[in-house]
Chain A
Amino acid sequence: MRESGKGLVLDCRGLRKSFGQLVAVDGVGFQIAEGETYGLLGPNGAGKTTSISMICGLLARDAGEVIVDGKPLTSRSVDAKRSVGYVPQDIAIYPDLTARENLTFFGRLYGIGGSELKARVDEILGIIGLADRANDRSEEFSGGMKRRLNIGIGLLHAPRLLVLDEPTVGVDPQSRNAILESVASLSTEGMAVLYTTHYMEEAERLCDRIGIIDHGRLVAEGTRRELVELVGKHDRIRMRASGAIEDAAAAVHGLDGVRKAAASADGIDVIADRAADSLAEILGIITASGVAVASVDVDEPDLESVFLHLTGRALRD
């Protein structure tokens, strides 16, 4: 956990929202610093959109606090909302307006105007790859193009905090890659990014820190590494090998970072703190002792297994 203070763009605490009997969000809170990408990972219905809606001030909350760039934000705020760029889960663009008109309209709502607006719109059209389709109505666009425009609108006013709600759902792999890459480049520009997804790989690839949300509660939070360590702090390395495997295993056992090394029926099993750190050294020692390695299997616990570990359920069901 980080201290609140300098460099903190989003600070939200104790968010709560009920719809009738259903408690959709129950005490969610986290912080995001400048240049940091925070992932909210959870299955459908976990409360990601509801949390985000409260953070962006679309939805009045039952309890909790949201501070963006030092300013408290509620659904009635005007000024604080200027610091937030919001990309809704469902494509939200005007189909009968062109890409340029869509961008221009929302740019004006955020108080940009004149030549600055025009320059900014052109820049965004370039970033989202729609410069040559700028004057076509968005209803004529493919799904991927609409998605990119959807994101472009959120970026237009260069917000301090960009909130993306499952921006890759229903997107072809190529567009998806492009989206992930541009999100990654945004955080290097100092923007704080809040990214929700139910795709484990996206969270792993993009996010500096991840909050796992289930049934409206944040069940765990940390870097990917920290989360995975909740399952067990170790990697399992399994090698199929033949030769003097007993001697080789004993030699490996003495290495730093290796907890356990033992011969198995058809090879050697090693438990290491970090497979990535130790694997080269382990393989070096084993081959040096004359053992032939046929295959190596590193069973690294991933976020999927973290979720399984914490909730007893699979992430995607």
Chain B
Amino acid sequence: MRTAFLIARKDLRQRLRDKSALLYGVVAPLGLAFVFSFIFNPIQQATFHAEYVIVDEDGGPIAEAFREALESIEGEGIATARALDSVSVAEEQVEASSDVFAADAEDSADAAFLIPENLSESVLSGRGGEITVLGAAGSPLAAEVAYSIAQGFSAELGAIELAVRTAMPRDEQADPESLGMLAEAAARTGSPVSLEDVSASTRQLDATTYMAAGMSVFFLFFTVSFGVSGLLEEKRIGTMHRLLAAPIPQHSIIAGKALTSFCLGIVSMTVLVIATTALLGAEWGHPLGVAALVVAVVFSAMGILAVVAATAKTQDQAGNFQAIISIALAFLGGTFFSVSHAGGLMARLSLLTPHAWFLRGLGDLQGGRVADVLPSVGALLAFGLVTGAAAWVFLDRAVSR
């Protein structure tokens, strides 16, 4: 272990000297997050306002609490909520159908919350319950916000599952009444007119944090690759012979490289989390949860990149493969744009990437409970463990050749 530390210390000194790790690990991601957040963020914040409808078929204390939660959000000026009770929906529709169709944009709704009959009773007796969030496809951001409001509420109660659907045809603003009716219909049939299942929890991150996290994890893979490729570099410059001739156990050479990669990854991510929080106002969430996710994602990056390094013949080849893999995984994992927009297959495929799990974990963390990151942390560690074990076997063989 002492030897692994010696090797890692030497490596880190080299990486500091050649500045590339600094560039990929801190400068580039921070710069891009900065630029992107300037491009996208002000627009979204300036124009964002959502109209919500609550369809309260319950009328009990839970529904009451939910309305109060919404009111506090109204207070912040983000959203306006209107309550419709189901009876009035039906009535209004009959008597004012002409008004409905004439509804102008101001009167339209972006999303609806359906609080089903007997929710309060069911939740209070410990059986749990379900609030359905219906979003109009024309206003995905508002639907996301609606979802996170409901998510926050359910996290507080811990007993309500969310069913989330974007149910309206694209580019059509929905009037509140028809949305309300849809909500009802959805609740009754149990299989609503579902265009898209917005299940990716990544959607709860605000745009700035999403950008910051996306850029960080994207470049993390490059930063970590510097550590991992160190083994091939030692081969290229011939110093591997010296390490093999030295009175040290062979596995300590690989352990040293792993340690280097780990340190580079952790330092880079830590700097980025702090810097984007301080400079861009990113909200990563509870530090403990963020730390767990960061450690886990660094592990997964190490494992995946080590497999690539182990199968490459030269350092150049490894560098190329690693870049391709890193970019492909980042695209698939939604670091550049949220894949959940792209539909079910992409969303499912994205779960093959550490990037998606990392972003998802951060999203889950927004609910406020640290334990919510555990599934993502578990998935990331599993990535790291499987690929890392494979790489170790490969590398151990490669080293003694």
Whether B104 sits at the interface, judged by CB under 8 Å, is no
Interface size (A, Cβ < 8 Å)? 34
Contacts of B401 in A (CB 8 A): 59
Cα of A91 to Cα of B242 in the assembled complex, Å? 10
Per-residue CB contact flags for chain B residues 223-243 toward chain A (1 = under 8 Å, else 0) read 000000000000001111111
- B246's contact among A59, A81, A90, A96, by CB below 8 Å, is which? A81
Residues in A with CB closer than 8 Å to B245 are: 56-58, 81, 84, 86
Tell me whether A88 is interfacial, beta carbon within 8 Å: yes
The stretch from A20-28, A103-111, A200-208, A250-258 touching chain B is A103-111
Q: In the complex, A69→B3 CA distance in Å?
A: 24
Tell yes or no: B400 within 8 A of A by CB. yes
Asked if B238 and A88 make an inter-chain contact with CB atoms under 8 angstroms apart, the answer reads: yes
Query: What chain A residues lie within 8 Å of B400 (beta carbons)?
Result: 60, 75
CA distance A66 to B50 in the complex (A): 79
CA gap between A97 and B237 in the complex, in Å: 13
Which residues of A from 72 to 122 have beta carbons under 8 Å from B?
Answer: 75-82, 84, 86, 88, 90-97, 101, 105-106, 108-111
- Cα–Cα distance between A59 and B13 once the two chains are bound (Å): 29
Set A59, A90, A101, A110: member contacting B247, Cβ < 8 A: A110
CB of A92 within 8 A of CB of B246, answer no
Q: For the complex formed, measure the closest distance between the CB of A14 and the CB atoms of chain B, giving whole angstroms.
A: 21
Q: How many whole Å from B19's CB to the nearest CB in chain A? A: 10
Cα(A172)–Cα(B269), bound, Å: 48
Binary flags per residue of A129-155, CB closer than 8 Å to B gives 1, else 0: 000000001000000000000000100
Whether B248 lies near A58 (C-beta < 8 A) is no
Q: Which residue of A lies closest to B15 (CB)?
A: A96
When distances are taken between beta carbons in the complex, the residues of chain B under 8 Å from A80 are 247
B188 contacts chain A at the CB level, 8 A cutoff: no
| SS of A interface (majority) | loop
Which residues of chain B in 11-70 are interfacial with respect to chain A, using CB atoms and an 8 Å cutoff? 13-14, 17-18
Say yes or no: A106-B246 contact (C-beta < 8 A), given A94-B10, A94-B14, A97-B13: yes
B6 at interface, CB cutoff 8 A:
yes
Set of chain A residues within 8 Å of B247, measured between Cβ atoms = 77-82, 109-111
B239 pairs with A93, CB closer than 8 A: yes
Cα A53 to Cα B241 with chains together (Å): 9
| Known pairs A76-B250, A78-B247; A86 contacts B238 (CB<8 A) | no
Question: Do residues A78 and B241 form an inter-chain contact, with CB atoms below 8 A?
Answer: no
Q: Which residue of A lies closest to B245 (CB)?
A: A86
A-B pairs, 5 with minimum CB distance: A92-B238, A86-B245, A81-B247, A58-B244, A82-B247
6 residue pairs from A and B, CB less than 8 Å apart:
A59-B401, A75-B400, A76-B249, A93-B239, A97-B10, A97-B14
| Extra inter-chain contacts (14) besides given A75-B400, A76-B250, CB under 8 Å | A57-B244, A78-B248, A80-B247, A88-B238, A88-B242, A91-B238, A92-B237, A92-B241, A93-B237, A94-B237, A96-B18, A97-B17, A106-B242, A108-B6
Give residues in A with beta carbon < 8 Å to B. Answer: 53, 56-60, 75-82, 84, 86, 88, 90-97, 101, 105-106, 108-111, 137, 153
